Chains A and B, each alone.
Chain A
Amino acid sequence: NAGVMQNPRHLVRRRGQEARLRCSPMKGHSHVYWYRQLPEEGLKFMVYLQKENIIDESGMPKERFSAEFPKEGPSILRIQQVVRGDSAAYFCASSPMARVEDEQYFGPGTRLTVT
């Protein structure tokens, strides 16, 4: 049973470009969460999605950031017009449908570097 998959693992973008980060949850998981980790800090919640629905995006910056989890395919975190401050590790996690208090399984992360 494959774990949470994220790609790319490393992404380099120049200021002003767009970054697309992908996350495939574990098989059978329909809850997806995105977290951001700035250097030397812990992870911060960004957004919680279920299939075709954004449940909570309270941790997302108001501009340039968006997330989706379509009926088919991976969840996408999209950052438009990236700036240097967006450089961070972005982690995706998934959990089973049954109970949201269950363990969240984390992917290996995408490390975004903005030059």
Chain B
Amino acid sequence: SQQGEEDPQALSIQEGENATMNCSYKTSINNLQWYRQNSGRGLVHLILIRSNEREKHSGRLRVTLDTSKKSSSLLITASRAADTASYFCATLRDYKLSFGAGTTVTVRA
């Protein structure tokens, strides 16, 4: 069964606004990763947060992890049109990555 579940399924925002998406999972994990996928393209790794970390930053990205609630959030600040894509969280347990169905983000110019 799918481990990660993203929320919302779709998000439409104005350029310059922040975008926040959430991910919930069911079992213990080694780490949680966020990926971006542009329409019909490959996956781009955005950020990895280990199970003993609570928050991580990378450029305009901020990821939080709450292992007690089994949830994570991805915040994209000051969004740009180029951020339009699908975003997936993936949990790693042992060697298997389990992906959610993704959040489709549309950034309007």
Taking a contact as CB atoms under 8 Å apart, the answer to whether A100 and B94 are in contact is yes
Taking a contact as CB atoms under 8 Å apart, the answer to whether B99 and A43 are in contact is yes
Cβ contacts A to B, 8 pairs, < 8 Å: A35-B99, A42-B4, A42-B102, A43-B88, A44-B99, A45-B97, A101-B31, A104-B97
Residues of B within 8 A of A35 (CB): 97, 99
Asked if A42 meets B95 with Cβ closer than 8 Å, knowing A103-B45, A106-B42, A106-B43, the reply is no
Residue pairs across A and B with CB atoms within 8 Å: the count is 56
Chain B interface mostly: strand
- The total of chain B residues at the interface (CB under 8 A) is 24
In the bound complex, how far is the Cα of B26 from the Cα of A54, in angstroms?
A: 27
Interface size class of A (residues with CB under 8 A): 20 to 34
Residues of B within 8 A of A55 (CB): 95
User: Is A69 part of the contact surface with B, judged by Cβ < 8 Å?
Assistant: no
User: Is B101 part of the contact surface with A, judged by Cβ < 8 Å?
Assistant: yes
| Inter-chain pairs besides A33-B95, A111-B40, 18 sampled, C-beta below 8 Å | A33-B96, A40-B101, A41-B101, A42-B88, A43-B43, A44-B99, A45-B98, A55-B95, A91-B42, A93-B97, A100-B94, A101-B31, A104-B97, A106-B42, A106-B43, A107-B42, A109-B41, A109-B43
